[in-house]
Chain A
Amino acid sequence: MLSLENNVGDIETGSFCLTFEGTKRTGPIVPIITGGSMEYKYLENQKILIFKITEEIDEFKAKELRRKADYEIERFMPKRVIFDFNRVSFMDSSGIGMIIGRYKQTSMLGGKMELTNLRPAVRKIFEMSGVLRLIPEIDLEQEELPELQQNFI
């Protein structure tokens, strides 16, 4: 597995560019920003913005996630926004409000939204609220996104 640190030597001026061993560079990507309750990655060629939430989602955390996600969505105006829940072991209904709010914002800017890696407890809440009829769950590994072979930190 490659880590970001191994590759930072390849940063070009202007936009952040990284080359990953074993993968052909398909275009500049914005590297993973760590810290706080969410990391994100932007694939510029495909205009895909991926958020990886790294903490439990409740009323307290939802506020922070909302603010961070809105900022990045407005900045990149992505065609697709994917929320990765792989590390979310707990979510209450504050998460539903947060996701529907980002869905509205993404749609307004002409993009579509998807969810991935839902754990059983989180899927139960999304299913109950009908969110999955509006925002589909996808299998990120089925997507042909070579840049994603670079894992989040």
Chain B
Amino acid sequence: MENEMKLEFISKSNNEAFARIAVAAFVSSLDPTIEEISDIKTAVSEAVTNSIVHGYENKKGIIHIKCKIINRKIYIEISDNGKGIENVELAKQPLYTSKPDLERSGMGFTIMESFMDKLTVESILGVGTKIIMEKEIKELPKSENLTLEEALRG
């Protein structure tokens, strides 16, 4: 199966819900589990929050999301033209945050890394940041799929 989509929206934090729900809806054709969907939504939310809070520092800018499905893999690219990350390795450390005064947990990249199969971060100071994440949606045998009742409860 192959599919592709592109989204662009301004860097307002009330667009976070729109972004993660749009990506989740796009992925839903692969019939993911509740947990897989929730992992993807969380990872998208973290990346978009980073662009808004750190990339654009709450100023107006555009955030781009590109999604691609190839077979059972989803590729999500989230990019901004914000200020960029000076030290990507440092930024990826658990609990590291450049804005401790704002009650940031410093867990954004750690969550993206552990909820998705692969995370790539490209960043150029003054130019912007691009995050590419991929995740394989496992094909479950029919009997192991959640029943509708379980899904609603979960």
Q: Which residues of A contact B (CB under 8 A)?
A: 56, 58-60, 63, 66, 90-94, 96-98, 100-101, 119-121, 125, 128-129
A63 CA / B13 CA spacing, docked (Å): 10
Q: Are A120 and B154 in contact (CB under 8 A)?
A: yes
| Given known A-B contacts A97-B104, A98-B103, A59 and B13 have beta carbons under 8 A apart | yes
B28 within 8 A of A: no
Q: Measured between C-beta atoms, what is the minimum distance from A21 to chain B in Å?
A: 30
Q: Are A121 and B35 in contact (CB under 8 A)?
A: yes
Q: Hey, which chain B residues are within 8 Å of A91, CB to CB?
A: 42
| Given known A-B contacts A90-B38, A119-B154, A101 and B111 have beta carbons under 8 A apart | no
Q: Are B111 and A100 in contact (CB under 8 A)?
A: no
A21 CA / B17 CA spacing, docked (Å): 41
A56 CA / B14 CA spacing, docked (Å): 12
B114 within 8 A of A: yes
B105 within 8 A of A: yes
Known: A58-B49, A59-B53. 5 other contacts (CB 8 A): A58-B20, A92-B42, A93-B104, A100-B103, A125-B111
Q: Hey, which chain A residues are within 8 Å of B102, CB to CB?
A: 97
Q: Which of B37-61 contact A (CB under 8 A)?
A: 38, 41-42, 45-46, 49, 52-53
Residue from A58, A59, A90, A93 whose CB has the most chain B CB atoms within 10 Å = A93
A66 CA / B105 CA spacing, docked (Å): 14
- Residue of B with least CB distance to A131: B105
A4 CA / B54 CA spacing, docked (Å): 44
A121 CA / B154 CA spacing, docked (Å): 9
B107 within 8 A of A: yes
- Residue of B with least CB distance to A121: B38
| Given known A-B contacts A58-B13, A59-B52, A90-B42, A128 and B104 have beta carbons under 8 A apart | no
A63 CA / B102 CA spacing, docked (Å): 10
Residue from A56, A58, A120 whose CB has the most chain B CB atoms within 10 Å = A58
A60 CA / B111 CA spacing, docked (Å): 18
Q: Hey, which chain A residues are within 8 Å of B46, CB to CB?
A: 92-93
Q: Hey, which chain B residues are within 8 Å of A56, CB to CB?
A: 17
| Given known A-B contacts A58-B49, A121-B35, A128-B110, A96 and B105 have beta carbons under 8 A apart | yes
A129 CA / B105 CA spacing, docked (Å): 9
Q: Are A125 and B42 in contact (CB under 8 A)?
A: yes
A98 CA / B102 CA spacing, docked (Å): 10
Q: Hey, which chain B residues are within 8 Å of A59, CB to CB?
A: 13, 16, 45, 49, 52-53
Q: Hey, which chain A residues are within 8 Å of B49, CB to CB?
A: 58-59, 92-94
Q: Measured between C-beta atoms, what is the minimum distance from A31 to chain B in Å?
A: 29
B82 within 8 A of A: no
Q: Hey, which chain A residues are within 8 Å of B41, CB to CB?
A: 90
19 interchain pairs (CB within 8 A)?
A58-B13, A58-B17, A58-B20, A60-B13, A60-B14, A60-B16, A63-B13, A90-B45, A91-B42, A93-B105, A94-B105, A96-B105, A97-B103, A100-B103, A121-B38, A121-B42, A125-B107, A128-B107, A129-B105
